[in-house]
Amino acid sequence: MDSIVVTGNGALSGDIPIAGAKNACLTLMPATLLSDEPLTLTNAPRLSDIRTMTALLQSLGAEVSALQDGQVLAMSSHDLNNLTADYDIVRKMRASILVLGPMLARAGQAVVSLPGGCAIGARPVDLHLKALEAMGADLELRDGYVHAKAPSGGLKGAVVEFPFVSVGATENALMAATLAKGTTVLKNAAREPEIVDLAQCLQKMGAQIEGEGTSTITIQGVDRLGGGTHRVVTDRIELGTYMLAPAVCGGEVTCLGGRIDLLEAFCEKLDQAGVSVEQTEKGLKVSRKGDRVRAVDVTTEPYPGFPTDLQAQMMALLCTAEGTSVLEEKIFENRFMHAPELIRMGASIDVHGGTATVTGVDRLKGAPVMATDLRASVSLILAGLAAEGETIVNRVYHLDRGYEHVVRKLENVGAKIERIKGE
């Protein structure tokens, strides 16, 4: 397994390009199952998760061609010939469950392996299933698979009220509803920019959707959807991650294509901490106002609140802030696995349940650390950028799921970082 070696090397300076959003692309790709016409995605990120979703769609009979070094995905599911999403692929990536709604809506049936949990939590899919049942689907859980059947006349429009916000359940229900007979109303729907991006792509395909980006989304089912071309929205989590690099070690970096509206709650916290964020033509220009950031309290919430996917990275910054910060993780039950690794680097962190109290220290010291999940792995790299000496981040295959060319992007702004091939 490869590792990444980072050596604290002072201030950064230059531009970092931000890719298309992994979490938008992973729901835009299954949308191709809704139509027998071609759907092309541009600005697609080059990530292992995208390659996993490609393999899954191909296993169902869809054609997916990665063009222009993977930045364009030309897809067509004209010849769907297999309605079973196999455990072998699904177990690698829980977003695979997002083929369930589209397959059910288009083909009237689907067999999809339950995704199982992951490092950050049990991550059940009960809300996905309840939404599809509300639309008339008959679901049976057997041998670790969901066996789903739509009524003979197809799915029916329904009012679906989510007891709490779920990004994936909103996406599955939204896609299924585009071909359901009648009107579907999703209440307490997720409002993430990735949901808006999906809705806009579906609208290009002919879907009748209103209210995307608000808590209530209304969909008028149509008989069929066409194809189209859609540009994947900028990855706000990659954006926030790289904004923290100059915050952690000083200097000034512009994240190309960055927009403040994608990360308002996050930018407010950076402002409170003493990090300057300026919207320019090129993107978001970020620099630290003084020699040290100030402690801030953070609570993760569904959009437009502070994103859970930036909690680990923010903790890396707050480890050397002036004062004590309290981070509350309200979305996932086990998302502080980066804390023990940061403590190995000299951080002072106290974790109790979903709350981590971080007392800033002057400087972290490089150490060998272990990546445990995607966002934890990149928080360790951020910590290593400013730490004294060398940090070796092991098991960086986690990183490849969500960050393309992380070494090159950071090297280009002055970081001392390299990837070491493992056995």
Options 118, 201, 255, 267, the catalytic residue: 118
Q: Which residue has the tokens 């979490």?
A: 23
126 is annotated as contributing to ligand binding: yes
Q: Name every residue whose Cβ is closer than 8 Å to that of residue 51 and which is 6 or more positions away in sequence.
A: none
Smallest distance from ligand EPZ to CB 197, Å: 11
Of the residues 374, 382, 386, 396, which one makes contact with ligand EPZ according to CB under 6 A:
374
Is residue 308 part of the contact set for ligand EPZ (CB under 6 A)? yes
Beta bridge partners of 72: 67
Cα angle 330, 331, 332 (rounded to 5 degrees) comes to 105
236 is annotated as contributing to ligand binding: no
Of the residues 56, 95, 243, 415, which one makes contact with ligand EPZ according to CB under 6 A:
95
Instruction: Find the length of the chain.
Output: 423
Neighbours of 155 (CB within 10 A): 25
124 is annotated as contributing to ligand binding: yes
Beta strands in 301-400 (DSSP E): 324-328, 348-352, 355-359, 368-370, 390-394
Cα angle 88, 230, 90 (rounded to 5 degrees) comes to 10
Is residue 52 part of the contact set for ligand EPZ (CB under 6 A)? no
Among the residue ranges 31-39, 165-173, 275-283, 381-389, the one whose residues contact ligand EPZ (CB under 6 A): 165-173
Residue 55 CB-density burial (10 A; 0-12 exposed, 13-18 middle, 19+ buried): middle
50 is annotated as contributing to ligand binding: no
User: What is residue 419's DSSP assignment?
Assistant: E
What is the DSSP annotation of 129-186?
HHHHHHTT-EEEEETTEEEEE--TT--B--EEE-SS--HHHHHHHHHHHTTSBSEEEE
Is residue 249 annotated as part of the catalytic site, yes or no? Answer: no
2 is annotated as contributing to ligand binding: no
Nearer to ligand EPZ, 123 or 395 (CB): 123
Is residue 267 part of the contact set for ligand EPZ (CB under 6 A)? no
Nearer to ligand EPZ, 266 or 288 (CB): 266
94 is annotated as contributing to ligand binding: yes
Q: Name every residue whose Cβ is closer than 8 Å to that of residue 283 and which is 6 or more positions away in sequence.
A: 15, 18, 254, 255, 256, 257, 258, 259
Q: Which two tokens stand for residue 377?
A: 């792995």
Nearer to ligand EPZ, 322 or 333 (CB): 333
Smallest distance from ligand EPZ to CB 97, Å: 8
Is residue 403 part of the contact set for ligand EPZ (CB under 6 A)? no
Of the residues 45, 221, 346, 402, which one makes contact with ligand EPZ according to CB under 6 A:
402
Of the residues 197, 238, 309, 404, which one makes contact with ligand EPZ according to CB under 6 A:
309
Among the residue ranges 106-114, 163-171, 321-329, 343-351, the one whose residues contact ligand EPZ (CB under 6 A): 163-171
Of the residues 331, 370, 376, 396, which one makes contact with ligand EPZ according to CB under 6 A:
331
Is residue 288 part of the contact set for ligand EPZ (CB under 6 A)? no
Smallest distance from ligand EPZ to CB 374, Å: 5
246 is annotated as contributing to ligand binding: no
Is residue 121 part of the contact set for ligand EPZ (CB under 6 A)? yes
Taking each continuous run of H as one helix and of E as one strand, the counts in the chain are 14, 24
Mapping DSSP to helix (H, G, I), strand (E, B) and coil, where does residue 325 land? strand
Q: Which two tokens stand for residue 343?
A: 């403590």
23 is annotated as contributing to ligand binding: yes
Is residue 123 part of the contact set for ligand EPZ (CB under 6 A)? yes
Question: Considering just the CA atoms, what is the radius of gyration of the chain in Å?
Answer: 22
142 is annotated as contributing to ligand binding: no
Binding footprint of ligand EPZ, residue count (CB under 6 A): 22
Is residue 230 part of the contact set for ligand EPZ (CB under 6 A)? no
Nearer to ligand EPZ, 168 or 346 (CB): 168
Contact of 109 with 85, CB cutoff 8 Å: no
Q: Interface residues with ligand EPZ (CB under 6 A)?
A: 22-23, 26, 95, 121, 123-128, 166-169, 308-309, 331-332, 374-375, 402
Known catalytic residues are: 118
